[in-house]
Structure formats: C-alpha cells, structure tokens
Amino acid sequence: MWSRFATPVGMNRRHFMSHMAGAATMMGASLSLGHSLRVHADTLKKNRKSCVLLWMGGGPSSMDIWDLKPGTDNGGPFKTISTSGDVEICEHMPLMAKQMHHMAIVRSMSTREADHNRGRYYMHTGYVPDANVDYPSYGAVIAHELMVQRPELEIPPFVSVGGASEGPGFLGMSWAPFSVSSNGRVRNLEMSLAKDRLMQRQIALKTIEDSFIGQKRGGVVEDHRKVLGKTFDLLTSAQMQAFEVDKEPKEVKEKYGENNFGQGCLLARRLVEAGVPFVEVDLGGWDNHQGIFRTLENDRLPVLDRAMASLTEDLEQRGLLQDTVIVWMGEFGRTPRINADAGRDHWARAWSVVVGGGGIKGGQAVGGTNEDGTEITGDPYSSEDLMASVCHALGISLETTFTSKSGRPMKIANSGKIIKDLFT
Amino acid sequence: MPLAAWVVLAGTFVPGAVGAEKPGAVTLPPQVEKIDLAMQAGWADAGVKPSPVEDELKWCRRVYLDLIGRIPSFEELAEFAKDKAPSKKLNLVQKLLNDDRYTEEYANHWGTVWTNVLIGRNGGMEDRTLTDRSGMQKYLRDCFARNKPYNDMVYELVTATGSTKPGTEGFNGATNFLAMKVNEEDGTQATAAVSRIFLGLQVQCTQCHNHPFNQWKQQKFWEFNAFFRQTRALRKFVAGTRDVDHAELINQDFAGEGGRPDQAEIYFQLRNGLTKVAYPVFIDGTEIGKSGFVEQVNRREELGQLMMQSPFLDKAIVNRMWSHFLGYGFTKPIDDLGPHSPTSFPELFEELSSDFRNTSYDLKQLMVWITMSQPYQLSSRMTSNNETDDPSQGETPKFSHFYTRQMSAEQLFQSLAVATQANRKGSLEEQARRRDEWMKQFVVAFGTDEGDETTTFNGSIPQSLMMFNGELIREAISTDPGSWLGSIAQQKGSVAEKVQILFLTGLGRRPRSEELSIANQLLVARKNDMGGMLQDMWWAILNSNEFIFNH
C-alpha cells in the first residue's frame, strides 16, 4: 500500500518529473506498482463479498424484537406477527416481517460480558478484553482478508457510518475504521490544490517521513505512512462518489427513513455496490433502563424497521444479497424481568442476533430460549461462533491465523465454531 | 523578528552539546535515583539494554509537550540550546513548572487533561447536559495554577456542592464532575467513575453480578454506591422558560428504600432474583453511620475522608502520571489496579506511591521525579538490544526506550499555534472554547447511557485529512500579510537559512541535505515563488510523522 504514497492514482507523474529529476530517484521503489493480484481482478470481482454490520449500541432488548414471549410476566406488551419466513417477530417490525425469508435469527446467544465497553469489545472482536493484546475488530479482520478481491478499491475497505466501531488492534492504523457521518459527508476532503503541486508536497513529505521511519521508532510510525498513502488515494479517487448519498432520489431516501440510521443504511448499500468489503452502521439508544416499551414502539423500532428492511430488499433486488452478509447485533440483550422503571437492564445470558445473506439460510430461528426468556434452550452460541459463521459465509478460511509482530499467533474468530444450522 | 536574528539564534544550536552535562553535578531528588536503580535492575533481569540518551533538543520538545502541552517555539529551543549549565535539564523543568511565564499554559494544559479524564471529551456537549464544560475547566485550571495538593483536589471533586456554571450564585466548578453522574440510575455512574478514576478500581461490571476476575463483589458495588444517595443535581431554568440554564449539586436527606431515614438502606438484586440490602461501607470494610439525614451523616464527606486514607488513591495517581510521561503505566489499563492486572516494577510502583503521599501530594514534585529519571531521557530509537520491549505488541512495558506516541489532539492544536506564531488571542476561556469546538469533529459517542466515547483523532484517515486540508492547517501555512510564514518569505536570506528555521521550529533539528535539495527543487517548480515553496515545505513538515509524534 505504501507504494501508492509516492504515486497517487490519477496524477501526472511525468509532468512533475520534468521539474524534479532529482527527486525521481527516491521513487524507485514506487515504480513497481504492478500488483500480481491485478491479473486476476476480473475473476475476483465476480465473487467479491461484503459484510454490513448493523450495530445496536447500548444493548437492544432482543426479546422485544426477535424472540417474543407474549403473555408471560416477562413478555411486555408487544404482540408477534407472522413473517415471510418460518418465524414470528415483533408487531412493530412490519417491513422486516416481509424480508424475514432472507434472515435467520440466532436466538441462543449466551455470553458473559454485561458491561457496555467489555461487551462492545467482545462482540466486535471475538475476544474478551485483554490488557496484553489489542485484538482487531470484525471490520479490520474482514477488510484485511477481503481486500485481496479488490485491488482496484481506492476508498478505505472498512467504513464506519455514524458511529465509532472498534479499532484495528494489532493489525495497525491502516486498517482502522474510516468514520463518516451518515449523510456520507467526509470532512476536509475538498483540497483545492493543483494535482501536480499536491504531488510535489507529497514527495517532500515522503523525504521527511523516510528518514524518521528508518530510525526504528516503532510500528506506529510505519502505520502513519500507510495511512498517508490511503489519504492521498482518497483525495484523488473518483470512487468517492459512492459517499454522495444525497444524490439518491427523494423517494429512496424516504423509503430508508430520513434519519441518521436510515441514510446510513442507504450509504451502506452504495458502498457495497462500490465494492467496500465492510461497512458498519451505528444505531445507538438501546440502553433502555427506563420506559423501554414506549421508546421501542415510538422511536427505535420504526427507525430500525424501515432502514433494515430497505437495505435487505435493495441488496436482494440488485443481486448483491447472495454475496453480502448482513449482521444485526448489539453488545448484549436485556433482562427478561421488567424493572421498577418499566425498563430492562443488562443481560448477556440469553439473547438474539440476526444474520442473513451470503448463502445463509433465511426464514428460520436457530436455537431458542425457555418460556420466560431467562435461559437458552439447545446449544449456546458465542461471539466467536457468530464471527466464525460470518467469516465462513464470506468465504474466509477459518484456518486463517494472524501473527502479531511479537510472534503471537491469533486464530481468526478466536477458533469459534460455525453455527451449522445457518447453512443447512 | 528579522530573519537575520533568527539565523543568529539558529547558530546557538551547536551540535555536540550533548554530553556537556556531567552526571552527579546536579542535585536531584532521591526518587530519581530510586527510579533509575529499579529500572536498571529491571532491564538486567529482562535481558534488555536501554537505548542511548536522546538528543537534547528532542528531549526539550518532549518535556514541553508533556508539561505544558505544546512544542517549544524556535526561541525557546534556542534558549535551551544556549544554556551550558550541567543542570540545564532540571532548570528547564523547573522553569516550565514554576516560572510565571508558563503558569497559565501549565494550568491550561493540565486542566484540559483532567477535564477529559473527569467528564470526557464530549462532556458538556451532550443533549440535555447538566455539565458546564467551562466551569469544569475553570476549576481545574485554578487547581493546577495554584498547585493544589492532589488529595485536596480529589476531596473537593468528590464532595462538591453548588452551582455548575461560572457567574451564577454559589458557583463551584468542581460540581461538574458529578452533575451528570448522580441523577440517573441511582448514581451508579458516579460510583463507577469515582472508584475507577481516583482509586483505580473497575467496578462497573460488578453492578449486576459478581465478576469472576474482579476482587469486587456485587455487594461492594452497592455499598460504595450508597455514599452517593444523598446527592442530587437540581435543574435551574432560564427565567420564564423550560430551558435548563445550569445545575446545582446538593446534598439532601435520603429516606432509604426501606422507608426508615435513620437506617437509610438501599436494595439491590442478585442474579438469582434474591434482593439484598446495602449500607455505605468503604472498600476496606470501614462502615459509617447508617442515617440518611445529612445533618447526622454527610455520606459524600465521609467517603472523601475515607478515600484520603486509602493507598489506592496514591497508586492511581502515580500510575496515571507515569503513563502520561512514559506512554504506559505500571498496569494496563492505567485505571485498573485490581489483583488480576499484572504490574510491572511493583516495588517501585509501591514506593513512588507512598513517597507521593509523604510529600503532601505535590504534583509538581512528582513531575520532576519522572522527567528527570533515566527512562524519560532515553531515545525513542530502538536498538537491537531492546526491540523486544514493545508494549504495543502485548509485552509488559520495560521502559528501555522512550515509547513513540501520537500527540493528543489538544497538544497538536496548541503546537500548531506555537509553530506558526499564530496569535494566541483571547481569554483562556475563549481559547479553550475554540479548541473544544475544533475537537468536536473527532469525538464519536457510543450511544449508551454512560456516555462512552472515542476519538477518531488517533492516526486514522480523518486525522490525516484534517492535517492535509483542515482550516487549522490552512491558517498555519498561510503566507498572507502579517503571517509567520509570510514574514519569513519576505525577508532577505538564503533558501537554506529559511528552510532551517522551519525544520528547527517544527522538528527541533536542522534539515538534511536531501531535504534542502527538495526545497530547492520546489522553488524551481514554484517558479521562484519563495512563499509558495515555504508553504509546501511547511505543509510537509507539519504532516510528517516526526511532527505528529511525541518521540
């Protein structure tokens, strides 16, 4: 990637060289642009895959959305509705009900992290927080693995929309989430500088960078160079049009919902179409310790329902759903018991996530919970298992092992087991 | 300043000044030697050798960044280079800590660091917030300007009452720490923040259940929580409207959940559904009176007193400060001192902590110990004898070389102001407001009730885009009349002299020959437009890793 730092795409190199013959020698390394991968680009393009993670910050009450217990003490006021699949979901998700034949509900998630920060980290990485190793998140891992399918991609392979996601861990800052607001606006992108002048600055910068990097000042310094290279790519890339979500027709914007999450999901669709392997869209506000049913019915569920259903439907209509995995999850579920403030508290022992696309068998529920929703029935599934299943659906080998610079091996998805029922 | 004067000053950067200092010629506090001996023993045990001592000018840059939050100006660097005294390093540290010239910057820097610790980078900017960010900053700046003993500051933050907003009756900026943390969810956020920040005890996970890796049990969490039950933040409205103007933090009688104020208990639920009772009990088991009447027992004041006795208070702050200066603490994360957290240099850590208590919690003294110690003098260049000492790869930090790290966004903001001689106009409040406003673009909230947040100013693409192209950088490289770069361009002098000033100012070193040669070629490409060339070079310097990193 760093070679791009010296030769940004779309620049007139010859023009600049005529001015700066002396500088040209420094660019020797950059001339070997020819990626061997490029040869196979056409084949790879045909089966390129993507993942969209819908992240529900705060820990949504999955038993009020995907695994209802109507009529029980814990069940709350919501009723179920039937769907296009072989499952029932919450009555306040009518649009998703029509898409459920594409989606599978994993109803027996059982984890142990009921703190927001720990839960967010665990669900994003497959590892519990560890003071000694900084694990890479879903987005970094998947982008890292799938980038090989798309050497032509100039926009960052891991885009985080309207939220924060988790970092790249030991994979380094060049795999960090590229955070944009849900309207796709990228700050400070417009650089009103002639291209050859930008390139001249780039060469001056590279000269200063190189001397410092040569002095063994640590991995963060080398990462800086990679990030600079990607930034130069962005500045000059026509692919950045994918972010212009405002250019969508009004009715499309309305269909997704004219709110941050709706527009974020629409942006996610555009990014998948542009070939971005991993997009995370953030919808917070699920930490409902008080007045949960009012919040869900009037606010969170309508927002979620429109956007998630539109995304699913659009990807399917464009023939992209078979190669795109959609994951819906938060850091944990919420207590079956309704508390004194008409809310639910943190509960990791029995909860649901939803996955679909990428060859996952939709319309079904995998696993389940007991009558009052307090315990799972059947096999428990973990963050690792979910991550392994998503990787599998994306065609990433579970034998993949990362090695940190200190030589510590890390199995992808922390050796999780594929949730078999999703694929049969 | 005319260019000629700059050039004369530049002449004071004589290479080879390193080594002029004779060890032993300077009297240092005994803690410095204590640190050095412990480190040397640790290095020997681990089979690593420390990197050589860093070049003086780079050390100077480092100490400015860490003590007052910005790089030194060209003149300040020259002043340091000129000093030939054996005690020049100590002189500099003392100057930055105690000279009136630096009091405001010192206080502003540490006020900012602590504002972020106490209320986060987003604190005071949330919807329906009760926090007054400027009130928090004002209080903290005052603490650091007066070098208030650390324990007094903690006591005040934990027990504060009064108004959050400057200019209102009964204003007490310290109230802003707890204002947003006491009302919702029975003060559980106040519980978690006080124990984590000041005692290094992470209890948030034990709120709902016993944690397998934590010495704290659920009972303890609620016992600690009981100390906050007399506290409320009252909303004060703008006259005649429903808009919240500020908040007032008060203590009020707590009736207890059992309805007996003289035995004001709280209830919490075990995971098996069983309900249990808790009264205020400190982490070491000390109980206080059970009454909920403030006149009989002021629970937060009792808590403050108990915290003052706790050795965790000393360890938490020493760890935080060590990490501020050396990049990593003795434990990772720094605010987790539980028995499950592996500790490097445990004896040294214990001793420094008790020494800090014994020197009356004087933060400036602690800063002298650390900045004058051997690990803080070392180069950030790794050698083949210490490459394995890389905490970013999961190794326990051994501090055998200085860990290169990114400047914080605030450090960068202040450094750009210095590096470009941009007028630091306006009151401290105004400067802080402008900086906070600029910071906002990098802060992302996580959407939980606890207000968790992260920053994208961390070496990723949004940061690079800002440095390539943001308003701050466009100001910094401006050659408009009256600008710093413009005045250098206008004056007589050689290309080499001008470029040298840029490199010394930005990076604390002279340009290398290849960098000078680039400058000359850029001048040709710019058709002899000196201002344009300087702009390009200055842009490249400010964007380089060597500028962005503290090293």
CB A280 within 8 A of CB A163: yes
Return the pLDDT at B337. Answer: 86
Hey, CA dihedral for A56, A58, A59, A64, is it positive or negative? Answer: negative
Q: Kindly report the CA angle at A53 between A52 and A55, in degrees rounded to 5?
A: 150
The two structure tokens encoding residue A380: 């428990």
Share of chain A above pLDDT 70, in %: 88
Region A379-383: mean pLDDT is 96
Contact A231 B333 (CB under 8 A): no
> From the CB of residue A276, how many other CB atoms can be counted at a distance below 10 Å?
25
Alpha carbon B384 to its chain centroid, in Å, reads 31
Residues of chain A with Cβ-Cβ distance to B342 below 8 Å are 131-132
Nearest CB among B448, B461, B536 relative to A227 is that of B461
CB B50 within 8 A of CB B403: no
Q: Which of residues 72-111 of B touch A (CB under 8 A)?
A: none
Q: Report which of residues B211 and B354 the model is more confident about.
A: B354
Return the pLDDT at A405. Answer: 64
Q: A105 forms bridges with which residues in the sheet?
A: A354, A365
Would you place residue A32 in the very low, low, confident or very high pLDDT band (cuts 50, 70, 90)? very low
CB B266 within 8 A of CB B186: yes
Q: Report which of residues A162 and A95 the model is more confident about.
A: A95
Residues of chain A with Cβ-Cβ distance to B518 below 8 Å are 23, 203-204, 207
Residue of A nearest to B521 (CA): A20
> ipTM of this predicted complex?
0.87
Nearest CB among B452, B470, B545 relative to A116 is that of B452
As a whole number of angstroms, the longest Cα–Cα distance in chain A is: 80
User: Does residue A24 have a pLDDT over 50?
Assistant: no
Q: Phi/psi at B237 (nearest 5 deg)?
A: -95, 155
Q: What is the pLDDT of residues B121-136, one digit of tens each?
A: 888 888 788 999 999 9
Rounded alpha-carbon distances, angstroms, from residue B443 to A157, B82, B176, B450: 21, 41, 20, 15
Q: Is B260 strand, coil or helix?
A: coil
Share of chain B above pLDDT 70, in %: 94
Contact A225 B332 (CB under 8 A): no
Q: Report which of residues B445 and B307 the model is more confident about.
A: B307
Q: What is the pLDDT of residues A50-90, one digit of tens each?
A: 999 999 999 999 999 999 999 999 999 999 999 999 999 99
In angstroms, the separation between the Cα of residue A420 and the nearest Cα of chain B is: 31
Residue of B nearest to A177 (CA): B460
Share of chain B above pLDDT 90, in %: 61
Return the pLDDT at B118. Answer: 97
| Nearest-10 crossing angle of helices B188-199, B218-225 | 100
Please tell me the distance from the alpha carbon of residue A148 to that of residue A145, in angstroms, as a whole number.
7
User: Does residue B377 have a pLDDT over 50?
Assistant: yes
Return the pLDDT at B483. Answer: 87
Return the pLDDT at B213. Answer: 47
In angstroms, the separation between the Cα of residue B246 and the nearest Cα of chain A is: 24
Contact B545 A406 (CB under 8 A): no
Return the pLDDT at B263. Answer: 87
Please tell me the distance from the alpha carbon of residue A106 to that of residue A38, in angstroms, as a whole number.
38
> Which of B196, B340, B469 has the highest number of chain A CBs within 10 A, making it the mutation to test binding with A?
B469
Please tell me the distance from the alpha carbon of residue A283 to that of residue A300, in angstroms, as a whole number.
9
User: Does residue A283 have a pLDDT over 60?
Assistant: yes
Residue among B355, B458, B345 at smallest CA distance from B38? B345
Please tell me the distance from the alpha carbon of residue A414 to that of residue A345, in angstroms, as a whole number.
28
Region A190-196: mean pLDDT is 84
Cβ burial, residue A400 (10 Å; 0-12/13-18/19+):
middle
Residues of chain A with Cβ-Cβ distance to B450 below 8 Å are 116, 287
Q: Report which of residues B301 and A424 the model is more confident about.
A: B301
Return the pLDDT at B396. Answer: 86
> Which of B332, B446, B522, B539 has the highest number of chain A CBs within 10 A, making it the mutation to test binding with A?
B446
Return the pLDDT at B209. Answer: 54
Nearest CB among A19, A115, A337 relative to B521 is that of A19
Residues of chain B with Cβ-Cβ distance to A178 below 8 Å are 460-462
User: Does residue A23 have a pLDDT over 50?
Assistant: no
Return the pLDDT at B205. Answer: 59
Q: Which of residues 228-267 of B touch A (CB under 8 A)?
A: none
Least confident piece of the model among A84-98, B329-343, B344-358: B329-343
User: How far apart are the two ends of chain A, measured CA to CA in Å?
Assistant: 39
Region A342-348: mean pLDDT is 92
User: Does residue A4 have a pLDDT over 70?
Assistant: no
> Cβ of A295 under 8 Å from any chain B Cβ?
no
Continuous segment of H or E residues that includes residue A143: helix A138-146
Continuous segment of H or E residues that includes residue B93: helix B88-98
Residues of chain B with Cβ-Cβ distance to A221 below 8 Å are 404, 545, 549
Least confident piece of the model among A121-135, A254-268, B9-23, B336-350: B9-23
Mean pLDDT, rounded, of chain B: 89
Per the listing, tokens 């400047």 go with B407
Alpha helices for A274-370 (secondary structure H): 292-295, 301-317
Please tell me the distance from the alpha carbon of residue B289 to that of residue B264, in angstroms, as a whole number.
10
Would you place residue B16 in the very low, low, confident or very high pLDDT band (cuts 50, 70, 90)? low
> Cβ of B382 under 8 Å from any chain A Cβ?
yes
Contact A346 B185 (CB under 8 A): no
> Cβ of A17 under 8 Å from any chain B Cβ?
no
Return the pLDDT at A11. Answer: 38
User: Does residue B479 have a pLDDT over 80?
Assistant: yes
User: How far apart are the two ends of chain B, measured CA to CA in Å?
Assistant: 29
